Amino acid sequence: METLSENACFGGIQGVYRHNSTSCRCDMTFGLFLPEEARDGPVPVLWYLSGLTCTHENAMTKAGAQAWAAEQGIALIFPDTSPRGEGVADDDDYDLGQGAGFYVNATQDPWAKHFRMWDYVAEELPALVFENFELDSDRQAITGHSMGGHGALVMGMNLPARFRSVSAFAPISNPTASDWGRKQFQAYLGDESPDWLKYDATVLMKEVGFDGPVLIDTGTKDQFIDLLRPEALAQAVAARRQQAVLRMQPGYDHSYFFVSSFMEDHVAFHAEHLYA
């Protein structure tokens, strides 16, 4: 693992690191904020999964999460959204290929060789960071924005013993019924099949839910709201009687202005359960 940068940040350290990924078969970069408390021992972890076109850097520099994480003594991990580099498949459309991994394990050419983002975020990167940094693997939570909100919700429900709480900002909530999902699943996973369903938060909510608290915020003026399908997830939450808070925030759109406006709420929500 190579250290690309480390900067003092709210009493802690904001680092950026690069390593060779066996899952994605290329170099991968991630951000990690360690609060001051990490100097004295392992601290709880909040994963932040970013959305379409983003890298590890977008949320790290725009979401304003470090200030609230430092206040709560929580580490933040910012993975990249896809494999990158020479020889990695890409597409001219912004919502497919590099920057658009959708947190799935691709099975179709030309994506299958590198696009193993589920394995990378769920297995490889956790093993790396818990081995090398003062982090408490027994106290983890996960959040994300848009495509990353989709990733956070499906990882929470597919890995129920790992995360104490799950939240999302404007998640892609029902990808198997949306153009943000069907297009990518067709490319990465092939013709519609049961493999699609394990990556759909609405389907998973109906079938298994999450054994813990959930918080979701979406803006009423989100320009992509028809693609996000928040109403589908809300219906599944209600039908399952899942413990959850789903908020429609008046006047907010899909931008990082929206994310940063409610980041304090989300970090405090996770802190309550990480320190319970």
Catalytic residue positions?
A: 146, 222, 254
Q: What is the C-alpha to C-alpha distance for residues 81 and 40, in angstroms, rounded to an integer?
A: 31
Q: Residue 155 in contact with residue 117, Cβ under 8 Å?
A: no
Q: Residue 153 in contact with residue 171, Cβ under 8 Å?
A: yes
Residues 6+ apart with CB under 8 A from 208: 157, 160
Calculate ∠ Cα 261-136-150, nearest 5°.
45
Question: How many CB atoms are closer than 10 A to CB 5?
Answer: 10
Q: What is the C-alpha to C-alpha distance for residues 123 and 121, in angstroms, rounded to an integer?
A: 6
Strand ranges inside the chain, DSSP E: 2-9, 12-21, 26-34, 43-49, 75-78, 135-144, 163-169, 214-219, 245-249
Question: How many CB atoms are closer than 10 A to CB 86?
Answer: 5
